[in-house]
Structure 1
Amino acid sequence: MRMKEMLRSILLFATLALATPALAQPAGTERGNTLQVYIREPGNGPVSEHLDLPLDKAAVVHLPVDATDVLVTNPEVVDAVIRTPRRAYLLGQGIGQTNAFFFDAQGQLILDLDMRVERDLTPLQESLERFLPNARVNAEAMNDHIVLSGMVPSASDADTALRIAQRWVDDPERILSMVEIEAREQVMLSVRIVEMRRTIARQLGVNLSTAGSSGEFNFAVATNNEFSLVGRFLNGLNAGIDWTSGNSGGITGVSSLLQAMERVGLVRTLAEPNLTAISGESANFLAGGEFPVPVGRDRDGNIIIEFKPFGVGLGFTPMVLSEGRISMRISTEVSELTTDGALTYDESPVVDDDGNVIGTVPGLTIPALTVNRAETTVELPSGGSLVLAGLIQEETRQNLDGIPGVQDIPVLGALFRSRDFENEETELVVLVTPYLVDPTNPNNLETPTDGFETASQASGLLFGRLNRVYSVPGSDTEGQGWSGPVGFLFD
């Protein structure tokens, strides 16, 4: 029996020893499965405390003295319930701030508890640490918004952190990313746009005309075969035969005109724009010009003009991924002015409110554009090339003009018809190559003006020279062998 009493005493002592810290817990907060808030003993006046309460979570408030009533200034944010005289339960119902006042039986204020309810971002923080182990990203709640801060190794990690945080809110605009990238690489994009266009046009036709008289009547018959496909006569062979009769009656004259033309055209287009941008930032480049386009008229009848760009354009947004791979959003364009498809406005009068003509607005012609454009998103390593776009196009058009019925007669029908033929072949390819680049010493760079000097007055007058080319000052060209088309050409 004495042994059992001794064991019972030992167990009781151990239980009291474990319970003593909880019973003597100073004012503070414990976070476990349930938020425990311990309020210190009041002094001469009420106690003031602050509590951050997670949304849709509860907290247990342990009071040092008995309380009989509680008042919450904004019940939509926090709901408070007193279960026992010294224990109250708080539930975060909405995001915001509020106060809770606890009173004793005499109506004296015991506790003034200032509370702020925010989202519980602990699971989000755990997800960021799990999916981005090499990054240091912190998530904080601020007025129903999420603020991301910290450092990440690359732009792709910053984008991943942003996309993870967007899964925790209904509106992606509630995410504010202040994440900094440790090393922001620079990407230079080289684009080659190559086009070959070949056109062939042929025209062959015969026009006949005859005239005569019969008694008091004169008559004339003629064929006028147009080359409607090309829209105009090409330079070529024009041969005609005329026959005139000396008789005063019947057919007095016959004339014929043979037209045979052929045109062959070849166009080669090569554009190689280069552009550099920091990873995650956009860059744009345009080498060309702007042409005016009328968009309306003012009250006085004057034409309102806007300018539209044309030329060689390039825009891209690079994103450096892991292992040196580069993801890019690319848009490139080569455009030039052309008269094909141009819009022409004739001269028009300007009329006042009384219907009187007070002036004229001159006519104008708006040129059209031939455009080669490509826009896409690709991913490739530094120094790797990819065909961004390609086109092989062949277009053949033929047209016959002639007299119905007669033009279908074998052999003889060729005298009463004209044939128009046009063939156009186009091959286009767009190649892109990105590079990870670093700044270098300016002395290592070369420009098209290196070694260029304007010719002297004597050289220009006596020999017709426009320039003279020397080696770059300080460069050693002895013993260097050159092969291939090197250097810059000056015409």
Structure 2
Amino acid sequence: MSPQKNHFVVGNHQSWLCGSLLLAINLIIFFSLTSPVLAQTSPLTPRQSENLIIQSNIDGDFQVPLYKSGVIELEERAKRISVGNPGIADILMLHSRQLYVVGKALGTTNVVVWDNNERVFASFNIEVVHDLDMLKRKLHRLLPGEVIEVHSAQERIILSGQVSSVVKMKAAEDLAQGFLPECISAESNVLVRDTTQGTPIIIQQGEGGRGASGANQEGCKKGSVVNLMQVGGAHQVMLEIKVAEIARTVLKRFDSNFNVFSFDSPWKLGANSGGASFPNALTPSGNEVPILGSLNGEDSPIGPVVDLFQPNTPGIQDKGVFLSYLSSKFFLEAVLEASRQKGLAKVLAEPTLTTLTGQEAQFVSGGEFPIPVPQSGITGNVTIEFKEFGVIVKFLPLVLDSGRINLKLNVAVSELSQDVPVTVGVQGTESTFVIPSLTKRSAKATVELADGQTIGIAGLINDNLRELVTKLPGLGDVPILGALFRSQEFMSGQTELVMFVTPHLARPISPQQVKLPTDSFVPPTDLEFYLMGRMEAREMSNSSPSSQGIIDIGPESHRFGHQL
């Protein structure tokens, strides 16, 4: 019996060893698999735990960032809560003194809390706002040194404060645009949670808020950024523009027109230069027919047809000579026009304009001329529209961080011209309107300059030549005498145009340093006006008040530019 008993004990010992070994292997495998998870889920630090607790503001309300969560701690034990609009925030009661809040959509809702005695002991508002903390960190990291305040008002982000340049203002505004949700839905729901039975009971109506498909919901709207930031520093830009043009024209003209007609015999002979008309002849019955008559010879014209010859009346536009002879059987009329014209024109415009950086400014110095516009219909009504001419300047300056100035320019200088006028008639009436043309020089460019630098934005050198000869073949080629049978015109024009711009960072000056163009004008006395013929009085000998404030620091002092 002993051997059998010992064998039984050994068998039990082996079974226990096998079970222990299997448990050890399982524990090793378990800890080897769970060790990375345990390493990653280390306990939160006290500071991280405090960040999860949502603190109330001065009014006792709570703010939750959009799509983020937090914990609200209650002062007493709660039994039941009610959420005004669960489309704004999801609220879950973790236990009797903690509420877990998740922001779902921008807006405000309220929470009512009951205790175990069915008594309302707390009521507070929860406002879901933009992620302002993250936006502030981005602004501080990307735009250091800029004093920018960030606020949230429903679906809008409000930026205020002061920045150093317009470029940084635009960057802050673009950065805030990225924190706006794509869609904001404002549907209302009712949610009640009760924990009396241990498991929350949810009573909900509707599906508010913004889900993954919120952009496709009806009633969706887009948020916006309200920019209340100001640009600090002296960022007023004064732009000086110079438009200089000189044009030279030379016109040579020689024109010959003559009419010769002899009617001494049945044969009529004549010559013309300058145009003429030959009216139709008359038949015996008094009808007008072509000069050649009918082809079959019937109803042929009668009378001397050429007696109705009507030459165009020659004239002299500028300078020339003429000859005329008339007898009972002979008529001679000749006009020779020879002229030479030289023209010189100078245009100099120097407009100056000042505006704030980032703001467009416009300057117009000139006038407006009327343009009649006939209206459709048979009434013959005409409306008048006006078109500007003169010096027109538009520019948009931007002061960069480096102090350089970026300019978008549009400069135009125009004047009335009678070179190519347009005549417009009114339907149903005999009235006509002559509309003048415009000679225009314009330039549109974008440049970048430092304070006080000058650059040419446009230039033109134009040299044109035109010749026109009209002559009678054969006779017009005869030397010397051939000049009587031809007309010649020679036109040459040269134009030089240049436009310069000079931007300055404008700063205010003392009123004592301002001198107006009219300060130096003194009206003449009666003696100077009637006897001396002067339009203004002689220049005063005493120095002007503005020059008395100038301090001469020695022979090395110099002044440059226009002196007022």
Same fold, judged at TM 0.5 (above) = yes
Q: Following TM superposition, by how much is the alpha carbon of 1:219 offset from its aligned partner in structure 2, in angstroms? A: 3.9
- Secondary structure of the 2:87 match is coil
Compute the displacement of 1:208 (Å): 5.4
Give, in whole Å, the separation in 2 of the partners of 1:415 and 1:264.
Answer: 25
Distance 1:106 1:208 in 2: 126
SS across alignment from 1:453 = coil
Q: Could you tell me how far apart the structure 2 residues matched to 1:454 and 1:245 are?
A: 66
Aligned partner of 1:123 in structure 2 is 134
- Structure 2 distance, partners of 1:336, 1:484, is 32
Distance 1:52 1:374 in 2: 55
Helix, strand or coil for the counterpart of 2:422?
strand
- The total of aligned residue pairs comes to 432
SS in 2 for 1:452: coil
Q: Do the aligned residues in 1 keep the contact of 2:107 with 2:127 (CA within 8 Å)?
A: yes
Letter matched to residue 374 of structure 1: A
Q: Distance in 2 between matches of 1:167 and 1:180?
A: 21
Distance 2:54 2:248 in 1: 84
Distance in 1 (alpha carbons) for counterparts of 2:515 and 2:561: 16
Deviations 1:64-106 (A, max 9, x none): 7776765433232223345666655432222122234456678
List gaps (5 residues or longer) in structure 1.
1-18, 40-47, 227-231, 351-359
Residue 511 of structure 2 aligns with which residue? 442
After superposition, the CA RMSD in angstroms is 4.5
Identity %: 30
Q: Distance in 2 between matches of 1:419 and 1:61?
A: 100
**Which residue is 1:392 aligned to?**
461
1:227-266 aligned at under 5 Å gives the runs 235-238=318-321, 257-266=335-344
Does residue 458 of structure 1 match 2:458? no
Secondary structure of 1:261's match? strand
Please state if 1:36 is matched with 2:53: yes
Distance 1:105 1:294, change over 3 A: farther
Correspondence for 2:147: 136
* Structural mapping, 1:294-305, within 5 Å: 294-295=372-373, 303-305=382-384
Q: Is the 8 A contact 1:95 1:117 kept in 2?
A: yes
| Residues 1:174 and 2:257 are matched in the alignment | no
User: Aligned-pair distance for 1:396?
Assistant: 3.6
> Structure 1 residue 432: deviation in Å?
0.6
Q: Which runs of 5+ in 2 are unaligned?
A: 1-42, 183-220, 277-314
1:288 pairs with 2:366: yes
Q: Does 1:273 align with 2:290?
A: no
Instruction: State the 1:143 CA deviation.
Output: 1.7
**1: CA distance between counterparts of 2:498 and 2:147?**
44
| Structure number with larger C-alpha Rg | 2
Counterpart selection for 1:426 from 466, 477, 495? 495
Q: CA, structure 1 residues 363+418, in 2 after alignment: closer, same or farther (shift >3 Å)?
A: closer
Q: Which residue of 1 aligns with 2:452?
A: 383
Q: Residue 229 of structure 1 corresponds to which residue in structure 2?
A: none
Corresponding position of 1:196: 246
Contact 1:82 1:89 (8 Å CA) reproduced = yes
Matched, 1:58 2:60: no
Partner Cα separation in structure 1 for residue 514 and residue 445 of structure 2: 32
Q: How far 1:37 sits from its partner (Å)? A: 4.5
Name the counterpart of 1:99: 110
Residue matched to 1:45 = none
Structure-2 change in CA distance of 1:438 and 1:84 (3 Å): closer
1:317 to 393, 396, 416: 396
* Shift, 1:189, TM fit: 1.4
Q: Which residue of 1 aligns with 2:156?
A: 145
CA distance in 1, matches of 2:559, 2:152: 65
Counterparts of 1:410 and 1:220, CA distance in 2: 20
SS at match of 1:324: coil
Query: Structure 1 residue 457: deviation in Å?
Result: 0.8
- Evaluate the alpha carbon distance shift between residue 303 and residue 281 of structure 1 in structure 2; reply closer, same or farther with a 3 A threshold: same
Deviation at 1:148, TM superposition (A): 0.7
SS of the equivalent of 1:133 reads coil
Partner SS for 2:145: coil
Give the one of 467, 470, 475 matched to 2:540.
470
Q: Is the 8 A contact 1:186 1:437 kept in 2?
A: yes
Between the aligned partners of 1:150 and 1:110, the Cα distance in structure 2 is 41
Q: Which structure has greater strand proportion? A: 1
Matches of residues 152-163 of structure 1 in structure 2 within 5 Å? 152-163=163-174
Q: Per-residue deviation at 1:153?
A: 2.9
- Pairwise mapping of residues 193-232 of structure 1 onto structure 2 (< 5 A)? 193-207=243-257, 209-212=259-262, 216-224=266-274
Q: Which residue of 1 aligns with 2:306?
A: none
Superposed displacement of residue 380, structure 1: 0.8
Which amino acid in structure 2 is aligned with residue 93 of structure 1? K
Is the CA contact 1:66–1:85 (under 8 Å) kept in the aligned structure 2?
yes
Between the aligned partners of 1:216 and 1:389, the Cα distance in structure 2 is 70
Q: Which region of structure 1 is more displaced relative to structure 2, 79-88 or 322-331?
A: 79-88
In structure 2, what is the Cα distance between the partners aligned to 1:301 and 1:367?
22
1:398–1:407 distance in 2 versus 1, CA, 3 Å: farther
Query: Of residues 237, 249, 254 in structure 2, which corresponds to 1:187?
Result: 237
Would the alpha carbon gap of residues 104 and 31 (structure 1) be closer, same or farther in structure 2, given more than 3 Å must change?
A: same
Q: Pick which of 177-186 and 108-117 moved more.
A: 108-117
Three-state SS of the structure 2 residue aligned to 1:331 is strand
Residues 131, 179 of structure 2: 8 Å contact kept: no
SS at the partner of 2:125?
strand
